[in-house]
Structure 1
């Protein structure tokens, strides 16, 4: 009997040619209990279905939409799904989470995951519901932004369908293209390019069944309790100002990356801060599907219209590129949404190019730090993959640096090919380790060690053993939250996270799960990601930061300096390997591989 919260099967959809075929893949309880759902189950599916060494944009490379046992329950923030594939930006495993009604409808097609592989003969859409799967040509969607494609598809097929679509950048296989739905994005790692390489503009899902939970009364009680706690002080800043509240706070402690990580404070930060924008331009607050937090803040744009703004897109398109005019940052963010590209990778790659121009390595004198018009021009060139600069920057900073040469890789703001988020590693050294060893690359959602750096409980400027423990702890907690799936903004409401998550899972599934089992699940998921990357050619040499971070101290003001040496980072990496049970090359012991359930 299938546990509550699951259907016990994935749907493998082959879109080769002009018709789609759907094949069920049984997910036995042993696998579901070992990986839960979301990112964890997606990792297991990639091990099972992705040919070793396959090009991420090849027809054989799978892309998985993965749901979780909590989707469809009244638990707040549970209407989320994961998209998992091999990244065209990094060549390694990547995953992205997003919230929308697509998650609920997708699961209620009767599947715990929908996996797309193959390549259609013409631009098409995939439709999945409880009656099966079909492929429909959709030439009318070519070149449309994802939001317009979603509207057009629903007009054609009916309002009962929920849509995840790519923009023009995904069709053109920009290496950091996104998949979008309901105005939200599965953003990092180029998942939109993977879908575009399959000639699929959109995946449409329609609910047609229900999924039971083991203890309906227990789930309802837990939902009431969690909803009440979600209104508490742990989430207050997200409700009041959104994630953009971080901008002034990070600027104050010299950890706001500025002008391609040449500084950690931005003199014009107040112009872009939530506090000022809230007073001058705030027009609305919104929530994701099935969410009681309401972190989304919407601001008016010059000339009309509005734009959702968050810390990461403001950081990447503002301070990182030296752009201080909020109208330019708003316009750039909107342009990324229209094109369907990741704001962090776009901003990081353009900031790198701006520095290359300063150094005389790229001949584009118009591309200067602080020039909002130049930022928009560069984004358009990337989205269109214009010959020359657009084609170069569409590859991401690591690939572009390999073309430009002249040691430009030393200041390319990336780890494993993924551009860095808005956290300065030299002044946040637990975060520095988390960024270096993370399987996805430079990522703040799968390793939120900045929380420990900013807690005041350790010295954020002197990484050591305490920082190793903090990085591992946040990585483990993220592995479970991203697999159950629950929003990270809830993390502060749990006093004993693993115990409380086990109780939620038990009510939904009926399993006798406890905190110890979930801790083992976390370790298994983290290890399975690393093993996938090792299979694809990753080595211990990839667990590092850009040379700039390890050779150039950062001035903090008042005579203070933040310095992260290669030796200190390596010492922390070695400590991480030891704590994870890895050898000196970052590889697991053979005995640990058996528990991953990835053979056969």
Structure 2
């Protein structure tokens, strides 16, 4: 079994000990890698109903079979998984870059962290050597500072580091884990779980080769992928896709603005001009020919010297969603999110929530620690990010994310909190993208990256405003494919280079030597999605959690444009959910039927679902 490193590393932080176990071939073929490995091992090692910040909640780091190979868009990614402190169900944060390749070369497919150290530590993985080292001198440093300090301390600047910032140390529920200084494993609060273990960082150095079975066949397949990725279909990723996406969403009136109070941002052109003016360099992930990582720097003004990687989601969340039109401010805001180690999207959505609470007099200036939090105020945006990152003043509450913050604030502020299952929404107005709305409602983490249906709707391949029966099959199929890509850990931007499951199966077999058909690949993807649902059911989530934010369902879009008065009623959402559950072969409560579990080889988990719902 090639491609895989062949080992799972267990690190007990409470005891200060570690051991390895071999990766079984049947397990590898059933769950592929990355997300698949993570959910299967989370089920095994996470106690039912454990508090996400309890030492018994494991933090799982996993890579896929392609990590460390020259697969374009698939050679360097990794996932962190745990029970989420935001959703209280499955948590997953993914990042690309180079860290995953280094872990594979060090000899591991998975690392499972359990327990809690009695002092801050970092784990140093140097090929077959594993050490748990003192990190008290690193506590309080940013992820970038931590990376530099560890490299200097260990005397090797080729070391790859994944670490948390101050927010993760202080258990902010929107904390992230950052590697390669700009690669952020955001979403679902994995940084808080890492902080709860007193684990400041994971440092990795690997010198082993990653072998593939059919090298010549693999090289020929990769050559074909490179040719496709250098073609015109991928030009948008090389030439500032971020700008193109935000302009398109604005034109279609699908750009959530000022906390869902509008769908059109009249100053979007200011941001667009800034993107062209402030771009300074382009980076690529391990073995990728595209180079989609655009770095922007502020050359002058109050934020001179600020530098950050900007993507569509962070630009939207910290720009139009907060009413901010200056790119220098957004660059500084993203820089601060990375400095403190907080999810930029969750931060932007939370700040916008606070701004609307302020404008509606739910919160006053005193509540906000003296911040005049009006929409469009760049001073307010920056001030609130500092407070969230440090968990100071109002930041103590806001760092919990909008769901818990709204529960603590009360005064009907829950209606202004834009989240799904506790995770802040992303930058596509769900009132105007009905198929995407369904995908987000049923997603275990409530965002578009688990299905990608917005790509079809924004391209005009599906009607945006009207939901039609049968669309759920599209959501289900795309959700399955994205789950497989997160298990192989392939970049979603590269998906157009692959001919679906046939190519995925071919690539997997060329690398690992394990023969697998496209149908078996499809079944593995469905197995991963269903096991995720079962974990959430075990933890108490169900149909009532397949819900959309109050504003999406109760506040029609204002104005007279193409999206005028669009919204989603409870009746419409019920119809959409029933359509989806039928496509999934789940029952009316959104629980997998026994026949489906048997088909997927998951019948051992049938006891999780109440008997009255399991029967067909």
Shorter-chain TM-score: what band?
over 0.9
Tell me which of 40, 47, 69 is aligned to 2:43: 47
Match of 2:247 in 1: 248
Give the whole-Å Cα distance in 2 for the aligned partners of 1:334 and 1:7. 35
- The secondary structure found in structure 2 opposite 1:202 is strand
Distance verdict in 2 for CA 1:593–1:186, change over 3 Å: same
Aligned-pair CA distance for 1:127: 1.2
Contact 2:275 2:327 in 1 (8 A): no
Contact 1:179 1:187 in 2 (8 A): yes
Distance verdict in 2 for CA 1:249–1:558, change over 3 Å: closer
Give the whole-Å Cα distance in 2 for the aligned partners of 1:264 and 1:519. 37
Deviates more, 1:554-563 or 1:395-404: 554-563
Deviation track 1:294-340 (CA, whole Å, cap 9, x = no partner) reads 11112221323532211111100011111112221111111101111
Match of 1:202 in 2: 201
Aligned: 1:473 with 2:492:
no
- The secondary structure found in structure 2 opposite 1:115 is strand
Tell me which of 453, 458, 480 is aligned to 2:457: 453
Match of 1:436 in 2: 441
- The secondary structure found in structure 1 opposite 2:514 is coil
Match of 2:525 in 1: 522
Aligned-pair CA distance for 1:486: 0.9
Aligned-pair CA distance for 1:596: 4.8
Deviates more, 1:403-412 or 1:536-545: 403-412
Tell me which of 514, 539, 542 is aligned to 1:539: 542
Q: CA RMSD in A?
A: 1.6
Distance verdict in 2 for CA 1:278–1:347, change over 3 Å: closer
Match of 1:336 in 2: 337
Match of 1:170 in 2: 168
Give the whole-Å Cα distance in 2 for the aligned partners of 1:23 and 1:518. 31
- The secondary structure found in structure 2 opposite 1:82 is strand
Tell me which of 372, 377, 381 is aligned to 1:366: 372
Match of 1:316 in 2: 317
Match of 1:141 in 2: 138
Give the whole-Å Cα distance in 2 for the aligned partners of 1:287 and 1:146. 20
Aligned: 1:593 with 2:603:
no
Match of 1:58 in 2: 54
Deviation track 1:45-90 (CA, whole Å, cap 9, x = no partner) reads 1011111111111111111110111111111112111111111111
Match of 2:423 in 1: 418
Give the whole-Å Cα distance in 1 for the aligned partners of 2:556 and 2:36. 37
Aligned-pair CA distance for 1:209: 2.6
Contact 1:106 1:207 in 2 (8 A): yes
Contact 2:166 2:389 in 1 (8 A): yes
Give the whole-Å Cα distance in 1 for the aligned partners of 2:519 and 2:233. 25
Match of 2:611 in 1: none
Distance verdict in 2 for CA 1:553–1:97, change over 3 Å: same
Give the whole-Å Cα distance in 1 for the aligned partners of 2:561 and 2:590. 39
Match of 1:499 in 2: 502
Match of 1:213 in 2: 212
- The secondary structure found in structure 2 opposite 1:151 is helix
Aligned: 1:101 with 2:98:
yes
Aligned-pair CA distance for 1:466: 3.8
Aligned: 1:70 with 2:66:
yes
Match of 2:491 in 1: 487
Distance verdict in 2 for CA 1:337–1:432, change over 3 Å: same
Give the whole-Å Cα distance in 1 for the aligned partners of 2:93 and 2:83. 11
Contact 2:470 2:579 in 1 (8 A): no
Match of 2:159 in 1: 161
Deviation track 1:460-483 (CA, whole Å, cap 9, x = no partner) reads 101122431221122111011111
Contact 2:262 2:557 in 1 (8 A): yes
Deviation track 1:6-52 (CA, whole Å, cap 9, x = no partner) reads 233311111115x3x22223432221111100111111110111111
Distance verdict in 2 for CA 1:596–1:135, change over 3 Å: farther
Paired residues for 1:399-410 under 5 Å: 399-410=404-415
Aligned-pair CA distance for 1:599: 4.9
Deviation track 1:88-125 (CA, whole Å, cap 9, x = no partner) reads 11111111211222211111222210111111111111
Contact 1:143 1:167 in 2 (8 A): yes
Tell me which of 23, 29, 39 is aligned to 1:27: 23
Gaps of at least 5 residues in structure 1 are none
Aligned-pair CA distance for 1:278: 4.2
Give the whole-Å Cα distance in 2 for the aligned partners of 1:47 and 1:369. 43
Match of 2:4 in 1: 6
Tell me which of 237, 252, 277 is aligned to 1:280: 277
TM-score (norm 1): 0.96
Tell me which of 366, 374, 377 is aligned to 2:383: 377
Deviation track 1:560-599 (CA, whole Å, cap 9, x = no partner) reads 4322211111101111011101111111113433535595
TM-score (norm 2): 0.93
Aligned-pair CA distance for 1:556: 5.4
Match of 2:512 in 1: 509
Distance verdict in 2 for CA 1:438–1:596, change over 3 Å: farther
Deviates more, 1:125-134 or 1:328-337: 125-134
- The secondary structure found in structure 1 opposite 2:202 is strand
Distance verdict in 2 for CA 1:186–1:99, change over 3 Å: same
Give the whole-Å Cα distance in 1 for the aligned partners of 2:591 and 2:208. 43
Match of 2:609 in 1: none
Aligned: 1:235 with 2:234:
yes
